[in-house]
Structure 1
Amino acid sequence: MCALSFWPGSWGAVTSREAALRIVYRVCEEGAYANLAANEVLGAGRLAPRERSLAVEIAYTAVKGWNTLDWALNLCLSKRRVEDLTPWIRSVLRVGAAQLLFLSGIPAHAAVYETVELAKKYGHRGTVGLVNAVLRRLLAQKDRLPYPDLEENPVEHIALRYCHPAWLVARWLEQFGLEETLELCRANNAPPPLTVRVNTLKADLPSLVEILQGEGIGARPTRYAPDGLELEAFTGLERSPAFGRGLFYVQDEASMLVGHALSPLPGSTVIDANAAPGGKTTHLAQLMGNKGAILAVDVHAGRLRLIEENCRRLGVTCVTTVLSDAGLLGERYAGRADYLLVDAPCSGIGVLRRRPDARWRRQPRELEELPDLQLSLLRGSIGCLKPGGVLVYSTCSTAPEENQGVLSRFLKEADFMEYEDLTAYIPNLPEDLQEQARGGQVQFLPHRHGTDGFFIARLRRRN
């Protein structure tokens, strides 16, 4: 049964902070995904766009800062710990503390007052006093919280100061060093840019810029993707008339470059092995001028419907959806594909800035298990590629074992595949990626390139 039916009070007069509370409760107490919880809560309420934005900002900040908030709250609880409180009051305190510690644009007195009002609705007289006392204590101490010393305990300092799991911080310190780890964590906590890909089947870059400006949305070209635009902050982009007309697709810039790395020719046959929700699939169709055949494969029927919906909105007609395990494609479509895209399921640690709850869902064991799955997908799908055909392998991960490690293992078995220079297909690469690209692979990083963390490799099957 939907958790909404158990929430106190009616939906008639929900404030932005109450909506934020309900999102935080769904994520932290019931395990919901943050984006789905936000859609559920905001879809049931009657908030104005500005209030919806505030609700999401508070909720996502509280979810991102979960570990630091509980640590700070425990310092301010005299006889109890956060985990000893009722689930609703835990969530109330997290919402209040997030505003005090991380959202400087919200006046402290308003944050405390509104949070106490929530405690009245979701608790009792005793918890109201508790919430008021704890938040006022936190407000008094927030500028002198006793974070672990950076030099003596860098893992715990960074984990608490920048709201990341300690195991991930330890991994990054080993991979990137101290300064880059700090930069990466800061980048993960910053709002990501809003980027869209122009649908070249219906518009070009200059015309879309003009159309968006007519809607009051500022736009400028992205740095690396030739068909991308970075938009000014805008609420409710899905309500844009240009969106409804299928003139663009919301997509991170690094993700756009996957299609360019493959660069399928018009009239060719392409297999997209893990295609949902269809961002890369529809981009490939654009690059092919809607001429040829793309088989968009996913193992879930519901996700195939997302691809079909996106194709309809964007005017894509060369895509056929296929319900299948990608690992079976080699047998099912042996030697039929000119191009193969394997955008593999991964840890997603490259997109933590976009998914506030992802940092708390990931576990170290996944980085031990996922490479075997990724390798099995390559093994099972490579048979569909013709001699001379092109494979692009991509992930939204920064973990070497999911990227270079998987391909190293794959190439030991598939000695008929070889890396191909990427610079001809992605000409606007930043200087620090040029050498990697000449070797057939690139690793984008949020703190270096301003994109999501994304790995892309291009390989060709020998004739």
Structure 2
Amino acid sequence: MRLHRNLCFATVDGLLQIFNEGMYADKVVQQLLKRDKRWGSRDRGFVAETTYDIVRWKRLYAEIANTKEPFSRDDIWRLFAVWATLKGVKLPDWKYFEATPQRKIKGRFDELSKIRKIKESVPDWMDELAAKELGDKQWTKEISALNQQADVILRVNTLKTTKEKLQSELFDLDIHTETLKNYPDALKLSERTNVFTTEAFKKGAFEVQDASSQMVAQFLDVKSGMKVVDTCAGAGGKTLHLAALMENKGQLIAMDIYENKLKELKRRAKRAGAHNIEMRVIDSTKPIKKLYDKADRVLIDAPCSGLGVLRRNPDAKWKLQPEFIENIKQTQSEILKSYSRMVKPGGKLVYATCSILPSENQQQVEKFLTSDSGKEFTFVKEKKILSHESGFDGFYMALIERK
């Protein structure tokens, strides 16, 4: 691999924004990719993947390069030199790479790789918390898996097409996919490519959605004609899946506290041909109370630490704070107590998170079921998904039923 000056400069600029200005990596990368119209897919791939790589391994690279935050531009070039050396990329004779101690870098890497929190590049508090909750052995395997680049998984929109038809349509574009056992609507890309420019995407034949995330809507056990509420719908990845599983029949109410996210869902629903979705902003307790005892099914895809999706959001390692996790657990508890009241007798509820921490998952469900609010519910089943076991995102889901 030969390093090109303009691609490296773009990457360094992006990293400064992510590390020093606290900008989100995905937003920064989106901006960077529009920087030069002459870049081909390989150039854009280099910028995106190198940026994410250095974000993912920030602590390890900074320790090797002996630099501390806030990083200067020279510090970022040092991190870049560490990345290139460890990847076996030949450093050009640019001034930024003068006197890069390549042998020392490799020696430091071997030495620091003996310490999990540095090797896997996580903050001390996160390493301690996860090891305490999951156990040392489990966490060592899990964080190693969460530091791998995520596969691109598509969810076939069965309102518009079938898995076989979509697979064949993409194959004609030289986009190869494989089916996944036990994931009825999923196709995995054999290699990364920009699927958003395809005609199939524009006409709503698929969404990009991780395999673990696709299990949540399935877990809710919806049927055509039901009244279903997705309480923390966001931009609606799971709402759209529910609409497809309901075959566009019945009433699907998508709720969220952020109106802009529901607007995005409206746009996506139109493309997907999902007609049974109604958006409601949670701007007070009123929209919730109106639905008390009315829903056949309720999905609570609760706000969480997001520790299960670090593969696709590596900058979350540096943005998350222990106080946030404590606060979010309180929020999860309140949401479960309040939103569960929408389930009608005989109806079902799924509580789900993209976290791997038991304190955000099964412990929340146990706490709810032993509380006054939860005494009308019975536990049906749960699914704990760890990345190192599944190869996909870390997730949790519990199905409970109202008596």
TM-score, length of structure 2 as denominator length:
0.93
1:262 lines up with 2:210 in the alignment: no
Letter in 2 for 1:95: F
Question: 1:17 aligns to what?
Answer: 8
| Aligned pair partner of 1:109 in 79, 91, 110 | 91
Query: 1:246-261 counterparts in 2 under 5 A?
Result: 246-261=204-219
1:335 lines up with 2:293 in the alignment: yes
Query: 1:409-448 counterparts in 2 under 5 A?
Result: 409-411=367-369, 412-413=371-372, 414-420=374-380, 440-448=381-389
Question: 2:277 aligns to what?
Answer: 319
SS in 1 for 2:271: helix
| Aligned pair partner of 1:91 in 65, 72, 76 | 76
Question: 1:224 aligns to what?
Answer: 182
1:160 lines up with 2:118 in the alignment: yes
Q: CA deviation at 1:310?
A: 1.1
What is the distance in 1 between the residues matched to 2:113 and 2:152? 35
What is the distance in 1 between the residues matched to 2:69 and 2:126? 23
Letter in 2 for 1:383: R
What is the distance in 2 between the residues matched to 1:456 and 1:84? 39
Question: 2:397 aligns to what?
Answer: 456
Moved more, 88-97 or 256-265: 88-97
SS in 1 for 2:212: helix
| Aligned pair partner of 1:141 in 94, 104, 111 | 104
1:358 lines up with 2:316 in the alignment: yes
Query: 1:244-393 counterparts in 2 under 5 A?
Result: 244-325=202-283, 329-393=287-351
Q: Deviations over 1:352-399 (max 9, x none)?
A: 111120111112222222111001111121222111111001000001
What is the distance in 2 between the residues matched to 1:108 and 1:165? 30
Whether contact under 8 Å (2:225, 2:251) holds in the other structure is yes
TM-score, length of structure 1 as denominator length:
0.81
1:215 lines up with 2:173 in the alignment: yes
Moved more, 25-34 or 322-331: 322-331
Letter in 2 for 1:318: N
Question: 1:431 aligns to what?
Answer: none
- Max radius of gyration: which structure? 1
SS in 1 for 2:308: coil
Superposition RMSD in Å: 2.0
Whether contact under 8 Å (2:300, 2:349) holds in the other structure is yes
Letter in 2 for 1:142: I
Q: CA deviation at 1:328?
A: 5.3
Q: Deviations over 1:17-72 (max 9, x none)?
A: 22211221110010000001111222233221110100011111111111111111
Identical-pair percentage: 29
Question: 1:436 aligns to what?
Answer: none
| Aligned pair partner of 2:98 in 113, 119, 132 | 132
SS in 2 for 1:108: coil
Query: 1:27-42 counterparts in 2 under 5 A?
Result: 27-42=18-33
In structure 1, stretches of 5+ residues that fail to align are: 1-12, 75-80, 120-130, 151-156, 421-439
SS in 1 for 2:111: coil
What is the distance in 1 between the residues matched to 2:265 and 2:240? 8
Distance 1:402 1:177, change over 3 A: closer
What is the distance in 1 between the residues matched to 2:10 and 2:58? 17
Whether contact under 8 Å (1:343, 1:393) holds in the other structure is yes
Question: 2:34 aligns to what?
Answer: 43
Distance 1:291 1:84, change over 3 A: closer
- Size of the aligned set, in residue pairs, is 396
Whether contact under 8 Å (1:326, 1:377) holds in the other structure is no
Whether contact under 8 Å (1:328, 1:380) holds in the other structure is no
